[in-house]
Chain A
Amino acid sequence: DTAVSQTPKYLVTQMGNDKSIKCEQNLGHDTMYWYKQDSKKFLKIMFSYNNKELIINETVPNRFSPKSPDKAHLNLHINSLELGDSAVYFCASTRYGQGQAFFGQGTRLTVV
């Protein structure tokens, strides 16, 4: 049973397209995140949701729109993809104020 699962694992798409990445956690956590890892391996938070409510939006272009239909899911939709969006995107979840964050396996997005 995967604790945090992301789909797809790989995504290759052309500039200008719109794509979505899905994330689901079965841990009963109330806080979920999206992180972007660039080519230098730097991990930067993009969004944080707590009980389906957007809490943190870290100066991310508004082409990126997260959606949390329920506490177990946090999806990321990206419009008008650009070359600079190529990166690995990680979903993570945690129980607010407690313990470690669990990460999904990552989605490697390549924009060509």
Chain B
Amino acid sequence: AQKITQTQPGMFVQEKEAVTLDCTYDTSDPSYGLFWYKQPSSGEMIFLIYQGSYDQQNATEGRYSLNFQKARKSANLVISASQLGDSAMYFCAMRGYTGTASKLTFGTGTRLQVTL
């Protein structure tokens, strides 16, 4: 069974500062993918960044980077130079496989508030 744990229900960060959102996972699948999604107050799910379990380098997408530590089973999201528009819920998710079944398992989310 797959499990995603996000231990920070809420975080505050000042504008222009960097912030790290924690995510740990547990799986017995040899191959898996890790994702971060953003959900603003408008409700849509916005894909931010992806890391494959066999990727050697940490993923980066603009101001987002994923700090992937496979041995520790962690996949933390780092947002650099926070902006007011970054205020939202952030979900870590993992994709695993069982035969032809592929599913995304989500963590409970972290609500990020960016302040002036």
Chain A residues in the interface with B (C-beta under 8 A):
31, 33, 40-45, 48, 50, 53, 55-56, 88, 90, 92, 94, 96-97, 99-103, 105-106, 108
Contacts and interface: CB of A to CB of B under 8 A. Distances in A.
B44 A56 contact: no
Contacts of B105: 45
With most chain A CB atoms within 10 A of its CB, the pick from B37, B101, B104 is B104
Given A97-B97, A106-B44, 14 more contacts: A33-B103, A33-B104, A42-B109, A43-B91, A44-B106, A45-B105, A48-B102, A53-B100, A56-B103, A94-B95, A100-B50, A101-B47, A106-B45, A108-B43
Interface of B: 35, 37, 39, 43-45, 47, 50, 89, 91, 95, 97, 100-106, 108-109
Contacts of A106: 43-45
Q: Is the interface of B mostly helix, strand, loop or mixed?
A: strand
Contacts, number: 58
Given A42-B108, A43-B91, A48 B103 contact: yes
Contacts of A53: 100
A41 B101 contact: no
Q: Which 7 A-B pairs have the closest CB atoms?
A: A103-B45, A43-B106, A100-B47, A55-B101, A56-B101, A41-B109, A45-B103
A45 B108 CA distance: 13
A105 to B, nearest CB: 5
Contacts of B45: 90, 92, 103, 106
A50 B43 contact: no
